[in-house]
Amino acid sequence: MPAVAVCRQAQLEDVEPLYLMIENYARQGIMLPRSRAVLQRQIGDFVVAEVDGVVVGCGSLCRLGEELVEVRSLGIAEGFKGRGLGSMLVEQLVKEARRLSIPKIMALTYEVSFFLKNGFTVVEKEIFPEKVWTDCVNCSKQHCCDEIAVLKILD
């Protein structure tokens, strides 16, 4: 039988798989870590991808201002990449931004081609006001950030 993939709002039961997945990417330096307590508090901002009932991906939206949200903690477990699940999560997060009437969605990433395929364009980090970088103060790379900023304007 073909695998059944769904994208849904995260729930408190998802905290542990989300924690482990994000921790795994954080160890590789491609995501910021999130504690279980933070995940519990922010679970309403997360969506998950499930394959045959198992959580294999996640992503979240963080509001940075009246007009801007950031995609954070977007990841698909090894072995499940390249099947359209990451795009499905981004689509869901874009839908959520639209529902909230927020016109701009951005991300800081190393996966530029993935975001280009999903309708984002590369922009200068400097176009975002410094005060929006709430997360960066906790990042070890804050003074030598090599991530690329990507942006999608929603109509």
Token match 């874009």: residue? 94
| Shortest Å distance, C-beta 31 to ligand COA | 6
- In the complex with ligand COA, the residue whose CB is nearer, 70 or 101, is 70
| Shortest Å distance, C-beta 73 to ligand COA | 8
- In the complex with ligand COA, the residue whose CB is nearer, 15 or 107, is 107
Token match 């989300």: residue? 18
| Shortest Å distance, C-beta 117 to ligand COA | 4
Contacts for 35 with CB less than 8 Å, ≥ 6 apart: 19
- In the complex with ligand COA, the residue whose CB is nearer, 87 or 103, is 87
Cα 15 to Cα 13: distance, rounded to the nearest angstrom: 6
| Shortest Å distance, C-beta 107 to ligand COA | 5
Contacting positions for ligand COA (CB under 6 A): 25, 30, 71, 74-76, 81-87, 107, 109-111, 113-114, 117
Whose CB is nearest to ligand COA?
Answer: 86
Cα 19 to Cα 13: distance, rounded to the nearest angstrom: 11
Tokens of 149: 């900023």
> What DSSP letter does each residue of 30-42 carry, written as one string?
SS----HHHHHHH
